[in-house]
Structure 1
Amino acid sequence: MREFSVPPMVEPLRSGGLADTVFETAAREPGLLQVARRDPSDGGQWREVTASAFRDEVFALAKGLLAEGVRFGDPVAVMARTCYEWTLFSFALWTVGAQVVPVYPTSSAEQLRWVLSTSGARAIVVEHEDHAMTLGAACGGLPELQRVWQLDAGCVKALSDAGTVVSDEQVHRHRWAVTPRTTAAVVYTSGTTGPPRGCVITHSSLAFECDNLLAGWRGLMAERDEQPSVLVFLPLCHIYGLMVTVMCLRGGILMGHQPELGADELLPALQSFRPSCVFAVPYVFEKLFERARRAADETGRGRLFEQAAETAARYAEAVERQTLEEGPGPGAALRARHAFYDRLVYRRLREVLGGRTRNVVSGGSTLSRELGLTFAGAGITVYDGYGLTETTAAVTAQPPGRPRFGTVGRPMPGASVHIARDGEVWVRGEMLFSGYVGDPAATDAVLRDGWLATGDVGHLEDDGYLVITGRKKDIIVTSGGKSVSPLVLEERLRAHALVSQALVVGDDRPYVAALLTLDPEALEHWKRHRAHGEARGHSLDDELDHEIGRAVAAANTVVSRAESIRTYRVLSEEFSVDSGLMTPSLKLRRSAITRMYAAEIEQLYAR
């Protein structure tokens, strides 16, 4: 199949903008719980904010922005972790017709300067003094930048106080001037292959994306007659996180904010907030599963956990075949084993997410089929999707009740997917961006007669499910002429408990090799486990080499011999955002990694 389309479930936005939602909801249901905030004076307990209270805060802040000189169409940057104030500022800016320019809070001075200069930002909101110092190092040569506000210095209250001189009518005149085609945000790409590009996202494209998700997938977010709740912990500077925030407010979903992604901070927040649905990236689900496996090992239940995980995957695969009318479903013996492990293992895994979550959404990159099946068998169905900043987040998603694990689903309502002759995935729909800010040549290079050339390679199955096999630029061509997609090998390598990250190399080389990093917590756990086990007559280093060799051998089973990894190198530390080897959305910067580890790669081919 070369092309597949799904009709839209909603009409595109016909008038107004995103901020209208705040005012309309408050007028219709003033007591609706919209946001939950942490109360630091009460041990971090969650305190709900009603629709009317949220509107009043947005309105007061919008007045303050006008009083401080922000005008219709002005780009205003926000550099902060995921927090309530981030959402407050974005809707206040949309109320006055300004543009939100998200900035990753981990950005260097050089990266910040690039975003501010290319977007033409007139003002910026920073979270704390460290960000202010980064701005100080970056602000030379930025004549457009006129205002700086700092969250931890009380800028929200100061702006709201300053806005008391502005009339209600003046704010509403700005809001009523916003049209669906008005720019809502300039969101920058991850920059995995070059400088980030600012994608112009309109009010219409964001609304269309969110409204189709609400129309088609809302039933998965909570039990019937229950208000859904979502803990937003994805970076709001990423289109995925920004889209989830807008969707929550447009859909009357109770939303909380969690600034840290680390397990020690995220897991307690999930358990206290108890979301009905979770939106995350594969990295989060991978870490969650590995943490659960290590916890089982520590209590002597490691073998039980592995048996339970295997049963969960087999059970989910049988259910998947039955749902897709390809098989009879789980047999009696499998159902009995599944029920047994549900009481002992799966229930505990669900409790890690707060106990209410039965469906989760994964995006940003493809979740492995094996992990998707395991979660589904444990009672947490993962709905994988695919999208780009240029597509305002998801452009494909697993249909409700019919997920096909290992794919990224079918086109979203109102979207089309086309496979070009060279295997590149092209997409079309109302959710597409308007272009790259200040870069018409780059825009023309990817927009072709209404289609966006994504740069990803994949294929469509007969029933319209899309499988992503890699990036065009990442395809490795060995010196023997063999084309290798590194994605499948890297995913299989990361499936091993010890392997944190993997980068497959081999361009213009005689064979494929890999750079690996190990998960520090998993490695420490493995060493303790081996130290307390039976003496095997081998050193820990020898056993570790053997274990990593097993991971490589397992990865090689999914490819031909010509595509298999012949040698590898375990690096001393993980790739990170701070080192410049990962994007803030946790994608590997391949060119940066190969440059930094050029000597190690040469050694792999010197043997």
Structure 2
Amino acid sequence: MRGILRRIGEHAITRPLHVALQDEHTALTYAELTQEIDLAVEAIGGGRVALWMDNSCAWAVIDLALARQGAVAVPVPPFFSAGQVGHLLADARPDLLVTNQPDPVGAMLGRRPARRLSIAGQLVSVFELAVAAPPALPPGTAKITYTSGTTGQPKGVCLSAQAIGRVAQALGEAVGGTEADRALSLLPLSTLLENIGGLYVALAAGGTACVPSLASCGFEGSSSVRAERFVAALHGYAPTATILVPQLLKLLVESVATGAPAPDSLRMLAVGGAPCAPHLIERAWELRLPVHEGYGLSESASVVSLNPPGALRPGSVGRVLPHVQVQLADDGEILVAGNLFEGYLGTAATPPSPWPTGDLGYLDDDGYLYLTGRKKTAYATAFGRNVAPEWVESELTASGEILQAVVFGEGQPHNVALLVPHPATTPARLAAAVARANAALPDYARIAAWRALDAPFTPANGQARPSGGLVRDAIARHHAPLLETLYASEARHERA
């Protein structure tokens, strides 16, 4: 991070009037950015600081100010449910919480903000949190990043400034970032991929980071977006680079395929955060969209591999970047070393190196990485949200109206479920049970379409083990046509 901050300072001297940050309300030159960082350092202070805001110039300024003074930043993902935010705050126990939503946050915390500040043209509120004996952090922790997790309660991944800086440098070199670049953030800045790959890479190169609120770009919640506003943002900000999850790429491809002009400013359209169907990438290439697929994980401070400009390898998630080393276990699991996290918050264990990613794949002779699946059952939706099906299934079966439930959604825009109801359950009670489960889940984990089955999953039909565990692959194969129908449907339910 010191290198990124140093580069920002250099740009403020050599190119003071060049726009560094832009959102729908504000534009800051590099000279103004350094001034705003100085003011934020003085106004906010240090310690452990949670940042709960939509994308904006203010978000970026506060994040950089925390890095500058060696504070620990705790970004709060906007797609977290209230319960998950409560867990995050109880887990990380920050000293301060900075937000531009003082009323709902104050109601949740049961207190009023200690002070209000104007940062980068936006009014933000600072809440002081009563923290008793905060959990010890691994030495060198600069940022605690939380993802949607593979369980209901995500873990805090502790990252050093050095690890973050190495990723930003490797990405900048891989994509050939220049001062002419305009990077548009269409993912939350609280996600590590966007924070580093969108914001830091652009600023280190002396370009412009466009960080409009996601609401202004058509996003509604974490897994819904208005296509026309999303595409309009791509044209309006004229980015040279942006990062998309597969579902957003699908929206763009559909728009261009039906006659909308492609954003001709783009030279780098990175796709990651979830598996992307090969046919979608091929269709994007046919439409001359410069798609570059990559791969990474929070435990390695984000990006591990990327298809670089001029050296695309179809079917791969790119060439392994030089700041990390990748090897394969005997069972094909991808192991990563060289730029790992410091540890999980609240655990004393030092992460093993190499780190077992849980992903399966292989390397070709040129160092390109290919993914073949997940070692376990957790999956990422097309919006890049991690879901553990067992978590959702436990909510579905909690009431007793549903005896068995199996959830799918790998790489899909929504989750679907196959349900075996209790024999006495009526259709109305079954629908109510699903609704109750959905109400207890964050929106990215909810069931959008489901089907009630007449036959249970049993050892006799090969769809369950004697222990009662589900044989997911067998269920998916047996019900493949039904699952395709559910994936293609709008939110609905039926009985087989």
Q: TM-score, normalised by structure 1?
A: 0.58
Which among 241, 248, 254 is matched to residue 202 of structure 2? 248
Q: How many residues are aligned here?
A: 391
Per the TM alignment, residue 28 of structure 1 is displaced from its structure 2 partner at its CA by 3.7
Alignment of 1:89-238 (within 5 A): 89-129=62-102, 132-138=103-109, 147=114, 156=123, 182-218=140-176, 227-238=180-191
- Flag the structure with larger Rg: 1
- Unaligned 5+ residue runs, structure 2? 127-138, 220-224, 380-406, 420-472
Deviation per CA, 1:255-289: give whole Å up to 9, x if none.
Answer: 11122233233222221211112221111101122
Deviation per CA, 1:562-593: give whole Å up to 9, x if none.
Answer: 94644526567559xxxxxxxxxxxxxxxxxx
User: What is aligned with 2:283?
Assistant: 374
User: What is aligned with 1:434?
Assistant: 342
Which among 58, 63, 68 is matched to residue 42 of structure 2? 63
User: What is aligned with 1:239?
Assistant: 192
1:37/1:49 contact within 8 Å kept: no
2:100/2:125 contact within 8 Å kept: no
2:98/2:124 contact within 8 Å kept: no
**Partner Cα distance (2:204, 2:38) in 1:** 17
The answer to whether structure 1 residue 282 and structure 2 residue 255 are counterparts is no
Per the TM alignment, residue 29 of structure 1 is displaced from its structure 2 partner at its CA by 3.0
**Partner Cα distance (1:429, 1:109) in 2:** 35
Alignment of 1:260-339 (within 5 A): 260=214, 261=219, 262=225, 263-293=227-257, 295-296=258-259
The answer to whether structure 1 residue 568 and structure 2 residue 477 are counterparts is no
1:17/1:203 contact within 8 Å kept: no
**Partner Cα distance (1:466, 1:89) in 2:** 35
C-alpha RMSD over aligned residues: 3.5
Quick one: structure 1 residues 38 and 411, their matched pair in 2 at CA, closer, same or farther if it must change by over 3 Å?
same
1:187/1:198 contact within 8 Å kept: yes
Quick one: structure 1 residues 414 and 136, their matched pair in 2 at CA, closer, same or farther if it must change by over 3 Å?
same
Per the TM alignment, residue 456 of structure 1 is displaced from its structure 2 partner at its CA by 1.3
User: What is aligned with 2:467?
Assistant: none
User: What is aligned with 1:463?
Assistant: 366
1:17/1:204 contact within 8 Å kept: no
Which among 354, 358, 383 is matched to residue 267 of structure 2? 358
**Partner Cα distance (1:147, 1:462) in 2:** 58
Which among 13, 34, 48 is matched to residue 75 of structure 1? 48
Q: TM-score, normalised by structure 2?
A: 0.70
**Partner Cα distance (2:236, 2:474) in 1:** 47
User: What is aligned with 2:29?
Assistant: 50
**Partner Cα distance (1:17, 1:574) in 2:** 48
Deviation per CA, 1:449-506: give whole Å up to 9, x if none.
Answer: x211111122223332222122222189xxxxxxxxx99x955xx6xxxxx5465879
1:459/1:467 contact within 8 Å kept: yes
Secondary structure in 1 matching 2:373: strand
1:35/1:256 contact within 8 Å kept: yes
State the identity %: 27
Give the AA of the match of 1:370. Answer: H
**Partner Cα distance (1:501, 1:157) in 2:** 34
Quick one: structure 1 residues 426 and 50, their matched pair in 2 at CA, closer, same or farther if it must change by over 3 Å?
same
User: What is aligned with 2:10?
Assistant: 24
**Partner Cα distance (2:164, 2:410) in 1:** 32
Secondary structure in 1 matching 2:346: coil
Deviation per CA, 1:385-411: give whole Å up to 9, x if none.
Answer: 000111211101113312112210121
Per the TM alignment, residue 19 of structure 1 is displaced from its structure 2 partner at its CA by 3.5
1:17/1:94 contact within 8 Å kept: no
**Partner Cα distance (1:135, 1:154) in 2:** 22
Secondary structure in 2 matching 1:289: helix
**Partner Cα distance (1:112, 1:148) in 2:** 21
**Partner Cα distance (2:282, 2:122) in 1:** 47
**Partner Cα distance (1:55, 1:475) in 2:** 42
Deviation per CA, 1:520-579: give whole Å up to 9, x if none.
Answer: xxxxxxxxxxxxxxxxxxxxxxxxxxxxxxxxxxxxxxx99994644526567559xxxx
The answer to whether structure 1 residue 421 and structure 2 residue 400 are counterparts is no
Give the AA of the match of 2:149. Answer: G
User: What is aligned with 2:213?
Assistant: 259
User: What is aligned with 1:474?
Assistant: 377
Deviation per CA, 1:223-251: give whole Å up to 9, x if none.
Answer: xxx71111112101111111121111111
Quick one: structure 1 residues 560 and 193, their matched pair in 2 at CA, closer, same or farther if it must change by over 3 Å?
closer
Between the two structures, name the one with larger relative contact order (CA 8 Å, sep ≥ 6).
1
**Partner Cα distance (1:565, 1:258) in 2:** 42
Per the TM alignment, residue 292 of structure 1 is displaced from its structure 2 partner at its CA by 3.7
**Partner Cα distance (2:477, 2:113) in 1:** 54
1:278/1:361 contact within 8 Å kept: yes
User: What is aligned with 1:35?
Assistant: 21
